[in-house]
Structure 1
């Protein structure tokens, strides 16, 4: 209580002490400010007019120390405007006029002022606690962001595609390798989206998805599947369930590995094992099949002896069919044995034009019977090649036979040779032989397997002809390839290194025509 009137100080002290308030007295504003600096108070009752420092100045100074302090102004001659200024502008809680005729008004005002002070302090405490909680949450969020950033950095440092998803198959995190593997351009566009929609383009979970199995069993699950983006490739998928307090149960990390090349290697190993077994059986095949086949051939010759037996034309035609099938069986046996036996390295000088003419002569009868028109175009300046003449003859034979069989209803065959630049060795000359047919072409689904052993689309084929041809040409440092156009035909091109060729490669080599159109030089293989 601050008042320069000692009687009022004593009266107020007595009244408020009786109400069990703890009261401190000051006879001037200076004394009150000094006391206020040394100890806290809940309420100040001050006279408006005092010598030295008046009530409004006291109010201003103590509000500076404690903005929540409540102040009641006492005045004996204040106008209404003075009271409003004290309450609204200077922060006084209430004002009372002297003399204090109604003690009850004083006690009510004191009680309410202290309650307001208490409420304000409680609010201040709650606000401080809320601010502290907000700051703590900000720190936690910052730590989580930092942890997520660290996790992302760890993820990005792993070369294999990794994707973190939750139980609902929502993508939480994926690393750079996963972005590159799936072809995702904008990282933010995929977070929070379902993995089956963003990665597989589906409206529902993939049929082979085993995410829930991994989460429920709490054990990693491994399986293989066709690629989501490219079904022609193969993927190995491992799902690791996460069991920790940070990420919580229900999350999992999916690791994806492209195993297409591994599959190819495995298939090659299986194929090599088959070929090894085939090599071991080849001797038995020759013995078990060729011996009775020779007997069949001998007995057929005996039965065809016109001096001993009188045969009609129909019977002779049947015997011719038997002989043709005997030859076919011999060819099949030879293909199997040639494929299985180790290659013999030879280096003959070969005129590819001569070899081609011999082959055409061999098939001329078959071409006529099959109603196939041949266009033969040979480069008369063609240099020789070096290699296995028997093997190369077998390659040409296989390619020409395939072309004939592709035109069951007849058609046009084009065979040509030319000189050009090698596709295998830069700026080196190469000799090219192409065989084109006007058949239906090769189906897209079969094109990748065309040179694989045992692959065939024919009911009576062995699937070894083109595979053997590929091996023979590869051993001689060359290449064999094909181009096909549905319903328009197929062209097989054989490329071999030119032997001892030193002249400049002509832009348009001279050709000798076999009745067909001059087709010009072959371009290098693409």
Structure 2
């Protein structure tokens, strides 16, 4: 690589002699006799190193150095000076960033050449550092734009000091700041977490580095932020920052909705599992109760015969106790039957407020407990089997009384709920000040014969809550338990009610028969057609969870056969839920046209994954009553069906 050198001195003999010496050593040398000439030469042919005298007429070496650095910031100046100006040269080196100073005359040319080479290396190094920094900053500016456009919270922190070096707008917004610059320079643990007095115990810094301190693999984890209480999937990575520091880059994706959906799905699965379990137990309980009653009939019959045959008072006393025990066993059997079958609720128009007041007065007035009751006005019809509902509420009250050892407080409230786009419901809350239920047991309280009461306790250990669950479930409702140990328990019963507009008209037309058609969702028979067996299975489970009767078909031809068979057997299908696009066989529109020919009153819902299709937008032209776009929720599906059946 060519070595170039500019020599500036107002003594020609010095510049000439240096020119000869340096050219003999491979340098390409240019000279100037004063500062102004040197500047002109430098402008035409930039140099990395300049060898200059300090004391010169017109412009001294220090002024020349300042002028040259205006042209090229990185230029390295070596001063040559006589004894009288050594102090000036030293000051220039110290104050003005000169590279070096040497005394005249120069006795060792090798040392001078080595100094020039070092100056050239310094020029290259400083320029490289600045260029790299500018390049990194320019690259970071691009990344900053990218980070700000991401749907994720991003920040960069020093792994030694925990100082925040960068944060994007998403993070600032998530933490309640308008501008991310607000907290740059502060510690990450001060800004991002709550009530931290030092680095977080869960800090991932150590996971991100190799033993030698170099960046390692990324680390992914889920965390609920202590400031905004939202869930994030976090990806941490150690990277080299533009200033060569090793820093932690953290990218946090908000998964709060996902977590909520997962929770709802787990609850949904749990509800299905509970329903399946109760169905299985109900079948068993019904069979056991039947056999049990047969056995009880034999036993009590023989006890009665013994009573008639024996005149001994002592024996009669024992037989009387045995008879009483059999009658108690009969009550248990009756409860098993109620739990197992219970009979379809015979629903009549019910004043729920009056019913609950009567239950409370009859059940609690004789107990050593205080109670309160409050209610919203109920602007809707409420239909229920009063006997069954009374049993369910009494069973829950009994549990509350026993949990308080006979004394305490019970608060009962009835609220009317009518959220937007949802069917109205009433919520009955029964709260006690009892011992409470532990978290590990709360999921088991509806299991038949589950109890935390001592085995020698005289308190009931029967089917109370199981029967309550069964009754409320048959009324289209559910029970949710909330409890805190040593503080008490709340049982929340949720039941559907029906708006007055429309329901009266149904009742007037056909009295109880027509009313049952509206209320009893078990009588709604739905034909579902889809050529994807997985989707078919999912829709089937959703509908069954909603307690509709479901018939499945993989294509239009199969659907038509099922439909005709059902009609011939007088098992009318009420609603057809038809997929638009069927690969093998008739699709949704063609199938609906065929179904209407067989039954003009069939109600159809067109299901599709591409609702922008112009043909689909005109679904009503083909006889469909509504359209449902995939993917859809269980609430949307239920709402569509409820609207059609209203």
Q: Is the 8 A contact 2:432 2:489 kept in 1?
A: yes
Distance 2:496 2:140 in 1: 59
Partner of 1:291: 291
1:146 to 114, 121, 138: 138
Distance 2:184 2:466 in 1: 48
Aligned in 2, Cα 1:442/1:283: closer, same or farther, shift over 3 Å? closer
Distance 2:154 2:301 in 1: 72
Partner of 1:159: 151
Distance 2:126 2:155 in 1: 32
Q: Looking at CA atoms only, which structure, 1 or 2, has the larger radius of gyration?
A: 1
Distance 2:330 2:209 in 1: 60
Distance 2:117 2:236 in 1: 50
Aligned in 2, Cα 1:232/1:499: closer, same or farther, shift over 3 Å? same
1:112 to 104, 115, 130: 104
1:335 to 336, 339, 345: 339
Deviation at 1:299, TM superposition (A): 1.6
Deviations 1:198-256 (A, max 9, x none): 648486775797973897997666666x7353999876666678799999999675656
Deviation at 1:286, TM superposition (A): 1.8
Distance 2:400 2:346 in 1: 28
Deviation at 1:439, TM superposition (A): 3.1
Distance 1:135 1:327 in 2: 96
Aligned pairs for 1:97-496 (under 5 A) are 112=104, 130=122, 133-161=125-153, 177=170, 189=183, 193=187, 199=193, 201=196, 206=201, 212=207, 227=224, 229=226, 257-258=255-256, 259-261=258-260, 262-280=262-280, 282-296=282-296, 298-300=298-300, 302-303=302-303, 306-308=307-309, 311=315, 316-317=320-321, 319-321=323-325, 323-324=327-328, 326-328=330-332, 330-331=334-335, 334-335=338-339, 348-352=348-352, 355-356=355-356, 359=359, 364=363, 368=366, 370-372=367-369, 385-390=381-386, 392-411=389-408, 422-424=416-418, 439-440=433-434, 442=436, 454=447, 458-459=452-453, 460=461, 464=466, 467-468=469-470, 471=473, 475=476
Deviation at 1:65, TM superposition (A): 6.5
Aligned pairs for 1:1-20 (under 5 A) are none
Q: Pairwise CA RMSD of aligned residues?
A: 6.8
Aligned in 2, Cα 1:269/1:300: closer, same or farther, shift over 3 Å? same
Deviation at 1:265, TM superposition (A): 0.8
Distance 1:196 1:64 in 2: 54
Aligned in 2, Cα 1:472/1:408: closer, same or farther, shift over 3 Å? farther
Deviations 1:347-382 (A, max 9, x none): 632233564476468x64x864x5457788999x98
Deviations 1:13-45 (A, max 9, x none): 9xx89xx95999xxxxxxxxxxxxxx9557x7x
Deviations 1:401-446 (A, max 9, x none): 34433442235667688xx8x44158x9x99786766633757x76
Aligned in 2, Cα 1:117/1:202: closer, same or farther, shift over 3 Å? same
Distance 1:485 1:169 in 2: 44
Distance 2:264 2:228 in 1: 15
Mean CA deviation greater in 243-252 or 270-279: 243-252
Deviation at 1:143, TM superposition (A): 2.6
Distance 1:250 1:88 in 2: 42
Structure 1 spans left out of the alignment, 5+ residues: 1-11, 25-38, 45-58, 74-82, 95-110, 502-526
Q: Is the 8 A contact 2:482 2:489 kept in 1?
A: no
Q: Greater relative contact order: 1 or 2 (C-alpha under 8 angstroms, separation 6 or more)?
A: 1
Q: Is the 8 A contact 2:208 2:238 kept in 1?
A: no
TM-score, normalised via structure 1 length: 0.51
Distance 1:318 1:274 in 2: 37
Q: Is the 8 A contact 2:19 2:30 kept in 1?
A: no
Count of matched residue positions in the alignment of Structure 1 and Structure 2: 416
Distance 1:214 1:64 in 2: 51
Partner of 1:33: none
Deviations 1:468-512 (A, max 9, x none): 576566x47x999999997698696878758649xxxxxxxxxxx
Please state whether the residue corresponding to 1:385 is helix, strand or coil: coil
Deviations 1:254-287 (A, max 9, x none): 6564453214413422441352354245324421
Q: Is the 8 A contact 2:445 2:451 kept in 1?
A: no
TM-score, normalised via structure 2 length: 0.44
Aligned in 2, Cα 1:196/1:227: closer, same or farther, shift over 3 Å? farther
